[in-house]
């Protein structure tokens, strides 16, 4: 076969040489033409065998950092001429390949390529994943434990990547005993360290040893030993209610001499009192009884106890009670630096100005005595000769403001205060038999005002009568009140026996917390019905116009379901507020029903919608100066209509032949004088088409005109004022 091939090669070469010679191509410069070598046909040529495939005996896929592996690669066919193989790594930071030696250097994945150097297209590539070397380790679920003296504890642990055993060691044998399995026995209070070792791994475990927890009975008995109760005493006894977790409940066998809290009271002779104690811890109770001989107080203690009980306000607003006899056989003598202002009996004679007075009391029992001085200031007394009174914020006496201040012409709580009050001067008045107090203040559910009023009858003062803590949107209420001087009937304070001759008020402002807005007080008003039937209030009406009419929106009460028949007062207030430009339709299609729920007095008939004071309080809560005022004549009302505005009027009886009522409210919106006759123009919330048509034939609706004489027959001379 090979001889046949050689023969063909020789024949081919001869043909080429013969062809070239016949072509006679001459060289045209450059290198000379070299004749090809003459091959001896008798010479035999060897054939090269190239690689066709790479065979890998151990293809490594995974290594650990630091590992070394050897790749066993060979070429196929095995008789390939070139046996040289090349190795490559795609990332020598992760692993290197030198010859067939693979060294893992860092965590990651790198590709290894093996190829034949003589035939680069013949190659094999594969990934080797290198992972971190997992070292042996000891895993402790917790690094420390607290146990009691006498307890035994086994140190819990787990091992990783090791089959070796953990060894335990401690240098704190004064506190614990430690065996080879990690079992600890504690026998002394303190802290011990245990070292756990696994090959090259060392971990530390801390053992905190505390006293053994005592039983409830042991704890109670320890506490009982700490309790010391005197056998004889006249002083208060310290009765603790808890010691070291043990609860103690004390009960006195004679609470008139010794309270459950250990207070010792006065006695004329030594008396034995049993004191019972129940000690409790967990489910264990232990009872113990003590005997205490209560002896009489010393004179000094009797005097001190009495002196502690005597208090006098720094500002005097009413007569004082200056007792001459006190408990425990103590007597008292009072002296005054101004007996013409405050007598030794405590009777106060208020002057036109504030007066400072020093009151001195001397307490005496047996041969012992004790003295103390009180410096007080009497408020000014002012005379008032009118049937109504309005004190505006800027007229308040700064001396009498407590936690309050004047700000922007209004009275508010000082910053950070949640409670404050103002005591008015004493106002001496013309004799009266009825009084109504009211106020104007911006309030809310979290900011309130409370008006209290007291009256003087002869030389005696009534208690303070309160209109309740009031805030817009709250569930506002108060109840009828009385004492020997007067009684409160809904919104009126009525003198019980003789004519009232003076009054004083207190206004209290509150808020739920210091961050809430303060109530904002504009005024306090007092109005009275005077005893003197000949009293006159002169008003100059000579220059008033003959026609005054305010376009007060007309609102009917009867259209409101269920409560329409009893909300004339709230409807009147609604019309006055709407006249001021307010609109409540977004809260209720019946605006007067919405206002009715605000004016409701929940303490009277639950509720009463016709409380005069609560109606003006709602108007005031919307920022208007509003109050209740009794008037004594048409001229007074006419002047107000011409110079201020419309009012709400309380009426009763035959309402001009249209209907009869036991009590009703309507708006007086103006008047007109026609041919010398005065007509009073009203918005009556009760009038509608069921009463017929007006003079023009239109169905009646709220608007109505009454002749003056007719109006005066049913007007009760009480008005809701809105300024």
Residues 514 and 641 in one domain: no
What is the per-residue pLDDT across 101-135, written as a single tens digit (0 to 9) for each? Answer: 999 999 999 999 999 887 888 889 999 999 887 88
Distances in whole angstroms, Cα of residue 515 to Cα of each of 220, 431, 502, 511: 47, 45, 38, 9
Residue 542 lies in a domain: no
Please say which residue of 294, 316, 339 terminates a domain: 294
CA distance 344 to 325: 14
Which CATH number is 64's domain given? 2.60.40.1080
What is the per-residue pLDDT across 307-348, written as a single tens digit (0 to 9) for each? Answer: 999 999 888 877 899 999 999 999 999 999 999 999 999 988
Does the pLDDT at position 45 exceed 70? no
Examine residue 321 and say whether the peptide bond preceding it is cis (omega within 30 degrees of 0). Answer: no
What is the per-residue pLDDT across 600-653, written as a single tens digit (0 to 9) for each? Answer: 999 988 899 999 999 999 999 999 999 999 999 999 999 999 999 999 999 999
CA distance 346 to 353: 19
Count CB-CB contacts under 10 A for residue 695. 6
Residue-level pLDDT at 21: 40
Residue-level pLDDT at 8: 39
Backbone dihedral angles phi then psi of residue 309, each to the nearest 5 degrees: -85, -10
Mean pLDDT over residues 521-548, rounded? 96
Residue 216 lies in a domain: no
Residue 215 lies in a domain: no
Residues 702 and 664 in one domain: yes
What is the per-residue pLDDT across 562-610, written as a single tens digit (0 to 9) for each? Answer: 999 999 999 999 999 999 999 999 999 999 999 999 999 999 888 999 9
Mean pLDDT over residues 671-681, rounded? 97
Task: Give the DSSP letter string of 173-228.
Answer: TTTEEE-TTSEEEE-SSEEEEEEEEETTEEEEEEEEEEPPPPPHHHHHHHHHHH--
> pLDDT averaged over the chain?
91
Residue-level pLDDT at 33: 42
Which CATH number is 176's domain given? 2.60.40.10
Task: Count Cα atoms within 13 angstroms, Cβ side, for 513.
Answer: 1
Residues 393 and 462 in one domain: yes
Overall number of domains in the chain: 7
Does the pLDDT at position 12 exceed 70? no
CA distance 309 to 327: 10
Distances in whole angstroms, Cα of residue 338 to Cα of each of 318, 350, 358, 374, 428: 16, 12, 7, 13, 21
What is the per-residue pLDDT across 233-285, written as a single tens digit (0 to 9) for each? Answer: 999 999 999 999 999 999 999 999 999 999 999 999 999 999 999 999 999 99
Residue-level pLDDT at 643: 97
Question: Who contacts 550 (Cβ-Cβ below 8 Å, separation ≥6)?
Answer: 579, 645, 646, 669, 670
Residue 641 lies in a domain: yes
Residue 240 lies in a domain: yes
Quick one: which of 154, 153, 158, 152 has its CA closest to 140? 158
Please say which residue of 294, 328, 343 terminates a domain: 294
Quick one: which of 671, 686, 684, 685 has its CA closest to 634? 671
Among positive and negative, which fits the CA dihedral 537, 542, 546, 552?
A: negative
Count CB-CB contacts under 10 A for residue 416. 8
What is the per-residue pLDDT across 80-109, written as a single tens digit (0 to 9) for each? Answer: 766 788 899 999 999 999 988 999 999 999
Residues 571 and 698 in one domain: yes
pLDDT confidence tier of residue 46, bands split at 50, 70 and 90: low
Task: Count Cα atoms within 13 angstroms, Cβ side, for 400.
Answer: 23
Which CATH number is 393's domain given? 2.60.120
Residue-level pLDDT at 558: 96
Residue 541 lies in a domain: no
Residue-level pLDDT at 47: 62
Which CATH number is 290's domain given? 2.60.40
Residues 30 and 92 in one domain: no
Residue 328 lies in a domain: yes
Q: What's the burial of 461, exposed, middle or buried (CB within 10 Å: 0-12/13-18/19+)? A: buried
Residue-level pLDDT at 19: 39
CA distance 619 to 598: 10
Q: CA-based Rg of the chain, rounded to a whole angstrom?
A: 55
What is the DSSP-derived secondary structure letter of residue 71? -
Residues 228 and 206 in one domain: no
Mean pLDDT over residues 689-693, rounded? 94
Residue 12 lies in a domain: yes
CA distance 65 to 63: 7
Task: Give me the domain span that covers residue 624.
Answer: 547-722
Count CB-CB contacts under 10 A for residue 500. 27
Residues 668 and 712 in one domain: yes
Give me 246's structure tokens: 């043990």
Residues 419 and 524 in one domain: yes
Please say which residue of 157, 184, 210 terminates a domain: 210
Residues 335 and 465 in one domain: no
pLDDT confidence tier of residue 356, bands split at 50, 70 and 90: very high
Residues 562 and 666 in one domain: yes
Residues 141 and 193 in one domain: yes
Residues 435 and 493 in one domain: yes
The answer to whether the beta carbons of residues 489 and 416 sit under 8 Å apart is: no
Task: Count Cα atoms within 13 angstroms, Cβ side, for 339.
Answer: 4
Mean pLDDT lowest among 136-145, 579-588, 665-674: 136-145
């Amino acid at each position: 076969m090979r001889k046949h091939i050689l023969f063909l090669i020789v024949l081919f070469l001869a043909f080429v040489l013969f062809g070239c010679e016949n072509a006679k191509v001459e060289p045209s410069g450059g290198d000379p033409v070299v004749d090809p070598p003459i091959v001896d046909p008798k010479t035999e040529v060897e054939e090269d065998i190239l690689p066709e495939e790479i065979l890998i005996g151990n293809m490594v896929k995974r290594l650990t950092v630091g590992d070394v592996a050897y790749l066993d690669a060979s070429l196929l066919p095995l008789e390939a001429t070139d046996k040289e193989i090349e190795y490559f790594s795609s990332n020598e930071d992760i692993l290197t390949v030198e010859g067939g030696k693979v060294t893992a250097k860092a965590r990651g994945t790198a590709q290894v390529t093996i190829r034949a150097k003589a035939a680069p297209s013949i190659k094999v590539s594969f990934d080797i994943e290198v992972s971190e070397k997992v070292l042996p380790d000891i895993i402790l679920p917790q690094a420390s434990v607290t146990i009691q003296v006498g307890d035994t504890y086994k140190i819990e642990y787990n091992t990783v990547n090791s089959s070796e055993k953990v060894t335990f060691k401690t240098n704190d044998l004064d506190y614990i005993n430690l065996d080879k399995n990690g079992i600890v026995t504690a026998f002394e209070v303190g802290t011990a360290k245990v070292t756990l070792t696994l090959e090259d791994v060392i971990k530390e475990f801390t053992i905190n040893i505390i006293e053994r927890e005592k039983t409830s009975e042991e704890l109670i008995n320890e506490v009982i030993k700490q309790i010391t109760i005197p056998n004889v005493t006249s002083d208060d006894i310290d009765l603790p209610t808890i010691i070291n977790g043990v609860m103690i409940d004390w009960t006195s066998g004679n609470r008139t001499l010794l309270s459950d809290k250990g207070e010792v009271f006065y006695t004329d002779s030594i008396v034995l009192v049993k004191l019972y104690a129940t000690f409790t811890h967990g489910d264990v109770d232990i009872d113990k009884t003590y005997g205490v001989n209560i002896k009489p107080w010393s004179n000094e203690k009797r005097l001190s106890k009495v002196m502690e009980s005597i208090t006098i306000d720094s500002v005097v607003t009413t007569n004082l009670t200056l007792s001459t006899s006190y408990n425990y056989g103590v007597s008292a003598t009072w002296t005054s630096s101004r007996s013409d202002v405050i007598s030794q009996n405590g009777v106060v004679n208020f002057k036109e100005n504030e007066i400072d007075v020093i009151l001195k009391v001397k307490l005496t029992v047996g041969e012992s005595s004790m003295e103390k001085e009180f410096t007080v200031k009497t408020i000014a007394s002012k005379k008032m000769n009118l049937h109504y009174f309005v004190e505006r914020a800027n007229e308040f006496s700064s001396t009498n403001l407590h936690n309050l201040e004047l700000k922007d012409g209004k009275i508010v709580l000082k910053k950070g205060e949640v409670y404050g009050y103002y005591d008015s001067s004493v106002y001496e008045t013309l004799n009266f038999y009825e009084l109504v107090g009211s106020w104007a203040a911006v309030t809310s559910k979290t900011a309130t005002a409370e008006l209290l009023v007291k009256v003087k009858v002869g030389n005696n003062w009534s208690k303070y009568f309160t209109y309740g803590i009031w805030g817009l949107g709250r569930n506002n209420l108060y109840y009828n009140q009385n004492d020997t001087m007067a009684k409160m009937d809904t919104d009126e304070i009525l003198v019980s026996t003789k004519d009232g001759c003076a009054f004083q008020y207190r206004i209290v402002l509150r808020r739920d917390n210091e961050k809430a807005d303060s109530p904002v007080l504009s005024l306090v008003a007092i109005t009275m019905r005077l005893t003197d039937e000949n009293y006159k209030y002169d008003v100059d009406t000579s220059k008033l116009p003959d026609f005054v009419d305010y376009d007060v929106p007309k609102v009917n009460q009867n259209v409101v379901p269920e409560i329409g028949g009893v909300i004339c007062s709230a409807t009147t207030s609604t019309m006055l507020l709407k006249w001021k430009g307010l609109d409540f339709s977004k809260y209720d299609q019946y605006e007067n029903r919405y206002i009715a729920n605000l004016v409701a007095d929940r303490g009277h008939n639950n509720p009463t919608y016709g409380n005069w004071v609560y109606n003006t309080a709602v108007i005031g809560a919307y920022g208007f100066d509003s109050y209740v005022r009794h008037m004594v004549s048409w001229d007074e009302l006419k002047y107000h209509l011409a110079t201020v505005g419309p009012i709400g009027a309380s009426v009763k009886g035959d309402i001009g032949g249209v209907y009869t009522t036991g009590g009703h409210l309507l708006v007086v919106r103006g008047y007109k004088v026609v041919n010398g006759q005065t007509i009073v123009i009203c918005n009556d919330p009760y009038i509608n088409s069921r009463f017929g048509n007006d003079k023009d034939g239109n169905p009646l609706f709220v608007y109505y005109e009454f002749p003056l004489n007719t109006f005066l027959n049913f007007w009760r001379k009480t008005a809701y004022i809105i300024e």
